[in-house]
């Protein structure tokens, strides 16, 4: 059992170490954070005035106040969902997308295929 626990703990640690997000993570976000991330994913990079303008263009019942927007941006930056460059009105925010894990299929596929063909010459 210790092996399974260790492997799961390593996966959790690796996920935290890489930072960033995957699209599947959006479903777990609270509504305010998810709203900002949806806006950000359309552009991938926005400065603070652009975010304010995008928020003001939303229907009134979906808008965040400036205080809520600032708090939400701070939380998203702290949680590594966004990368913040600069401060205040001059801040630029970028989506921190997690690098996708590549397939390991190609590493030994030809060797495996050749071995299978040698084992079954009639195929």
Domains of the chain: 19-119 (1.10.10.10)
Other CB atoms within 10 Å distance of the CB of residue 54: 16
Contact between 123 and 117 under an 8 Å Cβ cutoff? The reply is yes
Question: What pLDDT score does 83 carry?
Answer: 92
Burial class of residue 82 (count of CB atoms within 10 Å of its CB; 0-12, 13-18, 19+): buried
Question: What pLDDT score does 100 carry?
Answer: 45
Among 110, 41, 118, residue whose Cα is nearest residue 82? 41
Radius of gyration of the chain (CA): 22
Q: Is the pTM of this model over 0.75?
A: no
Tens-of-pLDDT digits for all 123 residues of the chain?
A: 456 656 655 655 554 455 556 667 777 888 899 899 988 988 889 999 999 999 999 999 999 999 999 999 999 998 888 999 999 899 999 998 765 445 555 556 677 777 777 777 665
């Amino acid at each position: 059992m210790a092996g399974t626990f260790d492997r799961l703990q390593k996966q959790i640690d690796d996920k935290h170490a890489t930072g960033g997000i995957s699209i599947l993570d959006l479903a777990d976000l609270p509504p305010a954070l998810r709203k900002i991330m949806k806006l950000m994913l359309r552009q991938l990079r926005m400065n603070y005035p652009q975010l304010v303008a995008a928020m003001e263009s939303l229907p009134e019942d979906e808008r965040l106040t400036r205080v809520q927007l600032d708090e939400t941006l701070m939380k998203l930056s702290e949680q590594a969902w966004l990368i913040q460059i600069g401060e205040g009105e001059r801040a630029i925010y970028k989506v921190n997308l997690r690098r996708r894990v590549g397939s390991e299929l190609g590493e030994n596929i030809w060797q495996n295929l050749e071995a299978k063909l040698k084992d079954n010459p009639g195929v």
